[in-house]
Amino acid sequence: MLPAQTMKTTIALLNPGHQLMHDLRPVAAARAITLESAPAGVDVVAWLATLQPALVLVDLSNEAAQLLPRMTAVKTSPATRKLRLVALGTDPSALAQAERAGCDASELLENNTDFSAILDQQLPALPDQRELVRQSALPLPELARRGVEEFNAGQYFEQHESFEHCWRAEPGPVRALYQAILQIGVAYHQIVRGNYNGARKMFLRSQQYLAILPDVCQTIDVARLHADAAAAFAELNQVGETNIARFNRRLLTGVHYAN
């Protein structure tokens, strides 16, 4: 079974104005696309890393200058830089600034803009999942099994080395499994070391790999791994940087095989 993210299309909206929402909603509804607007004051990198949308649209109709640092942050963070970021607006100079800030593309909005055509142009093609499905049904390689043993023994540095070799040696899409486990293990390692920012960054980076994996991959229970990592990330955010010593380490659970 493929993950939910591959079965639906989500578009993230940064700073969406009323007019954009009015024009975009019917087009999205006709295509069964989910629109998600960034909450006010949100850490946009963390929000997008967790959401893993197919496309990010930035409305430059107001406060364009204030959005530039956020766009740069999205396109420079390892957790979100692969996301496609497209600026929309009526001012060509603002659109040019957005592209210099890191946007992958921009669209000039005019009267009667065809948003369906914009989505046709800007939505990335869905990846071919057949090879991932095929590889997911294969046994877990021996080196990866050793990495799981190291992870479950709390040997987070050692598991990093094992899974590093695994993903570098694997050219296929299943390498995302090894990258996801590696980065969650490093996040746990940073928690043990008391490094709040390091742990948070690694949790966020792992999301792009977890998002494309099926619930079970090479006998690993990915759905449970994702849920366990989410619980640990929530605890990390709750205790905060100054109280990381109070983190409930019982949430540093192991990697499980599917029944």
Task: For 58, list phi and psi in degrees, rounded to 5.
Answer: -115, 120
Q: Pairing mode, if any, of strands 85-89 and 9-14?
A: unpaired
Where along the chain do its domains lie?
A: 4-122, 130-251
Task: State the residue for tokens 């380490």.
Answer: 249
Is-same-fold flag (4-122; 130-251)? no
Tell me the pTM: 0.87
User: What's the pLDDT tens digit per position in 186-201?
Assistant: 999 999 999 999 999 9
- Could you tell me which CATH number the domain at 4-122 has? 3.40.50.2300
CATH fold of the domain at 130-251: Hyaluronidase domain-like (1.10.3450)
**Residue 173 per-residue DSSP state:** T
User: What's the pLDDT tens digit per position in 18-75?
Assistant: 999 999 999 999 999 999 999 988 999 999 999 999 999 999 988 777 889 999 999 9
